Amino acid sequence: MRPGMQQELWRATAVFSFSLFFGWSLGFPLQIFVISLAIYLLWSFKTISKIFLWIDRGMRNIPPDADGIWGEVADTLNRQRRRHKKSAEKLRTLIRRATKVTESLDQGVVVLKKNRTLDWWNTSAKALLNLRSTDRGSSIINLIREPRFIEYINKSEFAGSIKLMSHVQKDVLLEFEASFIDGQDIVLVITDVSRLSKLEQLKVEFVGNVSHELRTPLTVLRGYLETLEDLPDKNALETKAYEQMEKQIVRMQSLADDLILLSQMEEESNEPQNEEIDIVSMLNTIIDEAKVLSAGRHHFFFESQPLILQGNHGDIRAALGNIIFNAVNHNPDGAEIKVNIQLHENGIMIVIADDGVGMPVDEIPKMTERFYRGDNSRNSKSGGSGLGLAIAKHALTRGNASLDIISRPGQGATFECWFPLHTN
CATH code for the part of the protein at 196-266: 1.10.287.130
Q: Letter for the amino acid at 378?
A: R
Q: How confident is the model at residue 1 (pLDDT cuts 50, 70, 90)?
A: low
Q: Hey, CA dihedral for 319, 325, 326, 331, is it positive or negative?
A: positive
* H or E element that contains 328: helix 313-329
Given this chain, do its domains 105-192 and 196-266 carry the same CATH topology? no
Top-confidence residue, 38 or 200: 38
Of the CA atoms within 13 Å of residue 375, those in its CB half-sphere come to 15
Q: How confident is the model at residue 379 (pLDDT cuts 50, 70, 90)?
A: very low
Burial of 231 (0-12, 13-18, 19+ CB in 10 A): exposed
Q: Are 401 and 311 in contact (CB under 8 A)?
A: yes
pTM of the model: 0.49
β partners of residue 415: 352, 405
Domain ranges of the chain: 3-99, 105-192, 196-266, 275-420
Task: Quote the CA–CA distance of 343 and 350 in Å, as a whole number.
Answer: 9
Task: Quote the CA–CA distance of 288 and 305 in Å, as a whole number.
Answer: 18
Please state which architecture CATH assigns to domain 275-420. 2-Layer Sandwich (3.30)
The least confident of 200-214, 245-259, 387-401 is 200-214
CATH code for the part of the protein at 105-192: 3.30.450.20
Q: What is the DSSP letter of 365?
A: G
Q: Letter for the amino acid at 325?
A: F
Q: What is the DSSP letter of 274?
A: -
Chain segment 43-76, per-residue pLDDT in tens: 778 777 877 777 777 777 777 777 667 777 777 7
- With a cut of 70, say whether residue 383 has pLDDT above it: no
- With a cut of 70, say whether residue 359 has pLDDT above it: yes
Q: How many helices (H) and strands (E) does the chain have?
A: 12, 12
- With a cut of 80, say whether residue 121 has pLDDT above it: yes
Chain segment 150-192, per-residue pLDDT in tens: 888 988 888 788 888 888 888 888 999 999 887 778 889 999 8
Q: What is the pLDDT of residue 15?
A: 72
Q: What is the pLDDT of residue 142?
A: 87
Q: How confident is the model at residue 269 (pLDDT cuts 50, 70, 90)?
A: very low
